[in-house]
Every structure is written in C-alpha cells, then in structure tokens.
Structure 1
Amino acid sequence: MSGDDKYILVAQIGGAFGVKGEVKITAYTADAQALKAYSPLLDAKGQPALTIISARPDKHGLVAKVKELATKEEADAARGRKLYIHRDQLPEPDEDEFYLTDLVGLEGRDADDKVIGKVKSVQNFGADDMLEITPAEGGPTWYLPFTKAATPEIKPAEGWLRIIRPVETSERDAD
C-alpha cells in the first residue's frame, strides 16, 4: 500500500458459497458482522473492491451476497483477495488499548532505553502474534513473541515499546 493512508487488513475472500454467486469471507475482526458496516471494503491499492449487499454469519466470518461478484466462477476467481479498510474507520481504542497495526513503526527499546530496533510488522503464523523487528544496527529482521514477558511496556502514543529479547540457545550454552 502506498500513500499516507494507513490501511487495515480486515478480511479475505474465501471463494464461492453455493452456485448463486454468494462468497465466503474470512473475517479478521472481532465481530465478523462489523464488515457490513465497513462496506465497501478496499483492495490493496485502497480502491473499492467489495460491497456487501447482505450477509449471514459463518464459522470463519460471513457468507455474503456482494455487488461485484455475481457468479460462482467470479467468486472462485476472487479467492484469496485481501480486503482492507482505512484505519480511521475503526473506533478509537480505550485507554491502555491499541490495535496491533499501531505497533508497526514503534521503536523497540531494551531495559536501558537503548533503541535496538523498530517494529516492521506483526505476523501470526498460526500460533501467537510475533513482532518482526528491524535491527537498529542493520542486518536481517528477527521475530519476537508478542507476550507480556517479551514486551512488558507498550507506549504507542510515545512511539516505543520495551523489548526483552529471549536468550538465544547458544548464549545459554556459553554460560
């Protein structure tokens, strides 16, 4: 995505449902029904991609009739398409709460307040959320489990979070 607009991934098209042009939508929101309020959903370039006409709950999100996909073939061809909204469409989080996307760009500081990197992305490979960290000194990115132990202090309004880097196996073996 480009530009100053911050987009949030909220759903993905799962393919056709039945033969009447309905589509399965996997929701990444706490409430799948909220996707209807965000319609039209955007593509990766920020352009309108999917307008929900009607929807009902499904185990992974919604089964929906949408304006842009009229046939089973069109719905199947759209499988895997990611759907976004503008960040400002989300309600403001409560005090001491934040959206995971708000972590991207934060400085990672160690216990001595030294900047050791910056959050490049938040990933989930099937278990728990992981922060991808770009080291301040350069080099390859590395992953940090997004847990209270590894990130005990998070200050998004101030632009940083505390990082307690796990001890590497080779470091433990050297002791």
Structure 2
Amino acid sequence: MSGDTEARATRRVVLGRIAGVFGVQGWVKVFSETEPREGILRYSPWTIGEAGEPLRVLEGRAHGKGVVARIEGCNDRDQAALLVDREIAVTRDRLPPPSADEFYWIDLEGLPVETLSGIPLGRVSHLFSTGSNDVLVVIGERERLLPFVWDDVIRSVDFARPLIQVDWDPDF
C-alpha cells in the first residue's frame, strides 16, 4: 500500500453525531448520515469526537426517525450527556468498497481537477449536497463550485493518476 493510499485508508470518516440522551441507562440518540439510518450500527467501534478512543457499540436500533445506541463505557444518563454533539467517525478502511459508479466523498478530497483540455482548476477541498446534486468545491487560483453531475460535468475520476477530469469552462 502506498503512503497516500495508506493515509486515505486511515482518515476519519464522519458517519453521524450523538444528538442527545435516551433514557437513564446510558443510551444515546444518534443522528446518522448512513443509508439506511441504522446502518451506522454496523461500523462498531466508533470514534467519538475529534481525538476520541474507539468505543464499541454494545447494542442499538432504529427509533422513530433516528437511531438509539448503547456504547461501551457509557452506563448512565450523565455519562451519555458528556457525548452529546460529538461526531461519530470510523476510519475509511472500515467502509465497504463502493460500487464501480460510486465514490466516497473522502476519496475525492484532495484530488486534482482539470478540464478536458488539460487546464488545471485546483484540488477538491470538500463536497456538499444541494438536494438535487452534490457539489465539488475546487480550490485553485480561486474557488469553484462544480456540480457533481456524471457525464455532463464530471467526465472521469482516476484514482491511479490521480485526477478528476471535468467538462467545465475555466473562466467560469
């Protein structure tokens, strides 16, 4: 495994956050960004907070529009309250491989972006969703917001080169 590939494999991927406490026995309410929501429970152990230790999920389930979970070392409401508003993350290598036409956002971050005619636009800083499509934030000599629309704007993603080629006017 090359250094860059190894670094990507161990990067933190945020899957959700602790949204509140649930009951008095240390359970927490979880806001999950996985699909389906309760999929977050499959990724134990979780790293909670920026520099947290990995903690095992002892049990959990869908509850209403969210998820509730009991986490190792969290045995009462007071301990659960200390975790509220902290991110839930795992390392990238714990996620299943995406299918051929899918990408994890974290894998796109840092990749160089160029037009079909070879004009460099910068590197992917991050992505966000607008509801209708995802958007690449590309930072070069200036910031550009490129819709992640396959075949229309995004023409190729090559992790081996590494490079994202786009059909985009560099003056836009």
TM-score w.r.t. length of structure 2: 0.77
Q: Which runs of 4+ in 1 moved over 3 A?
A: 31-34, 124-128, 164-168
Q: Verify the 8 A CA contact 1:152 1:163 in the aligned structure 2.
A: yes
Q: Verify the 8 A CA contact 2:115 2:169 in the aligned structure 1.
A: no
1:80 counterpart = 2:82: no
Q: 1:109 to 1:59 in 2, by over 3 A?
A: farther
- The CA distance in 1 between the partners of 2:158 and 2:77, in whole Å, is 46
- The CA distance in 1 between the partners of 2:44 and 2:56, in whole Å, is 5
- The CA distance in 2 between the partners of 1:126 and 1:94, in whole Å, is 21
1:94 counterpart = 2:99: yes
Could you say which residue in structure 2 is the equivalent of 1:22? 27
TM-score w.r.t. length of structure 1: 0.76
SS in 1 for 2:62: strand
SS in 2 for 1:152: strand
Could you say which residue in structure 1 is the equivalent of 2:149? 147
- The CA distance in 1 between the partners of 2:61 and 2:131, in whole Å, is 26
- Alignment gaps of 5+ in structure 1: none
Where in structure 2 are the equivalents of 1:62-73 lying within 5 Å? 62-73=67-78
1:160 to 163, 167, 170: 163
Q: 1:112 to 1:167 in 2, by over 3 A?
A: closer
SS in 2 for 1:161: strand
SS in 1 for 2:155: coil
- Distance apart, 1:128 and its partner CA: 4.1
Could you say which residue in structure 1 is the equivalent of 2:56? 51
- Alignment gaps of 5+ in structure 2: 1-5
Q: How many residues align?
A: 163
Q: 1:78 to 1:127 in 2, by over 3 A?
A: farther
SS in 1 for 2:78: helix
Could you say which residue in structure 2 is the equivalent of 1:36? 41
Pairwise CA RMSD: 2.8
- Provide Cα deviations, 1:68-123, integer angstroms capped at 9, x if missing partner: 32333332332221111111111222333322211111111112022111101122
Q: 1:125 to 1:59 in 2, by over 3 A?
A: farther
